[in-house]
Structure 1
Amino acid sequence: MSVAIVTDSTSSLSPEDAEREGISVIPLQVIIGADVFTEGVDVTADMLAEALASFVPVSTSRPTPDDFLTVYERLAAEGADAIVSVHLSSKMSGTFDSAVLASKQASVPVTCIDSTQVGIATGFAAGRAASARDAGEDVVGVAEAARRAGDSSTVLLYVDTLEYLKRGGRVGAAAALIGSALAVKPILTITDGLVVPLERVRTQAKAIARLEALAVERAEGCDKGFDIGVQHLSSLTLATAVASRLAAALELDSIGVDEVGASIGAHVGPGMISVTVTPRC
């Protein structure tokens, strides 16, 4: 059986990684002011950061069911007998719902997986699906590999302000108000598919140090190894330093650093740093 893997652009897979692993990526739309852009095609993180800093309205739009169906049918025409479609948390976006609607019209069976995550955690889940496929697993095994990766991932985020998450409805208003009132630097995580406050720290330096400590603790608890990555928005120097310190602490040669795509960046704002740890199991 030939199993194809699909994900969306929030997974932060580079075109090179997606091609190497045989994963099709469906882009989200990013709306800046009155202009509509396609993630991964004609919008950059710099454009996004500039718009956010200038208080230009920024929002995102999920792919339509037709967008998914077009890709599903192309893969079927290319010889896929089944498809596993792995996407960001359904509680943060309607992308998963579009995939489900399209799956009902596809000419081959499509299994839609809600990774319950965002960013490279979703990318790691799609990558695990691809690895399972390449190892000869059937569609059930491929889907289960993606599901396990999403369920077991830990995403830790530092944001300069909760304002952008509050605007997009990605974190509760009460949490945003607490952060503002106490002038703290929040550390966030993903729980049950939602962004939730994890800890409150007084300064950026302490927040970053705590973020690193939590990431090391999580990684060291993975008996069979782990995948790890650092992401940022307009904070390359800080993200590179975080990755370097984590690599040293975990005795790794290096840790990848990527800038988040515009669809995630629109909700976290400039200055965001995240670390994702996905156990290998």
Structure 2
Amino acid sequence: MNNVKIICDSLSDIPKDLIEKYDIDVVPLTVILNDKEYRDGIDISNDEFYRILREENAHPKTSQATYAQFKEFFEKYVNEGREVLYIAGSSVATGTYQSAVMAKNDLEGTIHTFDSASFSFGIGILVVKAGELAKEGKSIDEILSTIEKMKKEVFVLFSVDTLEYLQKGGRISSTKAAIGSILNIKPILEIKNGLVAPICQVRGKKNVISKIIELLKEHCGNDLSDQIAYVGYSDDLKEKEKLAEAVRENLNPKDIVFFQIGTCVGTHSGPGGTGIICLKNNI
């Protein structure tokens, strides 16, 4: 058994096979849909969530993970004599990180909280690396040092198919959303300083992928043969495959791993979104 226990929250959108492989515990946030509460990743499938968004014109909300949840998770492993490393979603965008810090401060034992300053598999890529290192028997200090360096290299790039959910979540104004919809503008966004930020925009969905490839080359280099590219999707499987194929043809990654954008992140991005996560260390 690894002495270091890795914990994350459900904003990390880590595929189940990787969660099991590295024995990662996931603290669920809550999504509120049609006045019902669901634990992200537990009580409702991602596919069902996106189906409801498309068919019922529903507008979900999210609720952060709580102090009580973190206390329960942390206490379990501290009582086993293990060290705990919790890797959080961006602290400036959700109060979940603060809930974890409060729980940590009320417990004895070695508990580290780490702010990924990211969302979705931008968190997950750090969690998986931490899980790999923990499985190898690395110390908590060695793990923290590695993911602190890696955090600066993570490049998250994504596009949404509709501006409606960004507007409902307060990420853009209703005026911008209305104009963008009329002009068929598709924003391409990045994670910057812990928040979603526009990097550019294109007219029409057919121009999204070519622009993403251009931006990847600019920020990560022309050759990704020494790293895995992580392609994210909500419910548009055709667009997912198109993006993966363009990445293979233009950037030659060592491998491509897919992850589905979960309900909490999907609450703000909506159906039809796609994205990619790579490291900036090739430039």
TM-score (norm 2): 0.89
Q: How big is the shift at 1:223?
A: 8.8
Equivalent positions of 1:127-142 (< 5 A) are: 127-142=128-143
Q: Is the 8 A contact 1:171 1:195 kept in 2?
A: no
* Partner in structure 1 of residue 220 of structure 2: 219
Is 1:164–2:179 an aligned residue pair?
A: no
* Partner in structure 1 of residue 86 of structure 2: 85
Amino acid at match of 1:72: F
Comparing 145-154 and 29-38, the one that deviates more: 145-154
* Partner in structure 1 of residue 40 of structure 2: 39
Q: How big is the shift at 1:41?
A: 1.4
Q: How big is the shift at 1:221?
A: 6.6
Distance 1:170-1:21 versus aligned 2 partners, 3 A rule? farther
Distance 1:23-1:172 versus aligned 2 partners, 3 A rule? farther
* Partner in structure 2 of residue 272 of structure 1: 273
> 3-state SS of the aligned residue for 2:152?
helix
Q: Is the 8 A contact 1:87 1:115 kept in 2?
A: yes
Distance 1:89-1:176 versus aligned 2 partners, 3 A rule? farther
Equivalent positions of 1:39-58 (< 5 A) are: 39-53=40-54, 54-58=56-60
Q: Distance between the aligned counterparts of 1:37 and 1:2, measured in 2?
A: 32
> 3-state SS of the aligned residue for 1:255?
strand
The C-alpha deviation readout for 1:36-60, integer Å capped at 9, x for no partner, is 1111212122332233232223111
> 3-state SS of the aligned residue for 1:107?
coil
Q: Distance between the aligned counterparts of 1:3 and 1:133, measured in 2?
A: 6
Q: Is the 8 A contact 2:180 2:186 kept in 1?
A: yes
* Partner in structure 1 of residue 70 of structure 2: 68
Distance 1:18-1:78 versus aligned 2 partners, 3 A rule? farther
* Partner in structure 2 of residue 105 of structure 1: 106
Q: Distance between the aligned counterparts of 1:147 and 1:176, measured in 2?
A: 36
Amino acid at match of 2:44: V
The C-alpha deviation readout for 1:81-122, integer Å capped at 9, x for no partner, is x21110111122111111111111222121111101111110
Comparing 140-149 and 239-248, the one that deviates more: 140-149
Unaligned runs of 5+ in 2: none
Unaligned runs of 5+ in 1: none
Distance 1:221-1:114 versus aligned 2 partners, 3 A rule? farther
Q: How big is the shift at 1:177?
A: 5.8
Comparing 190-199 and 157-166, the one that deviates more: 157-166
Q: Is the 8 A contact 2:10 2:41 kept in 1?
A: yes
> 3-state SS of the aligned residue for 1:148?
helix
> 3-state SS of the aligned residue for 2:165?
helix
Percent of aligned positions that are identical: 28
Q: Is the 8 A contact 2:224 2:251 kept in 1?
A: no
Q: Is the 8 A contact 1:240 1:257 kept in 2?
A: no
The C-alpha deviation readout for 1:222-259, integer Å capped at 9, x for no partner, is 89943421111111111012112212323246412222
Q: Distance between the aligned counterparts of 1:201 and 1:279, measured in 2?
A: 23
Q: Distance between the aligned counterparts of 1:83 and 1:172, measured in 2?
A: 40
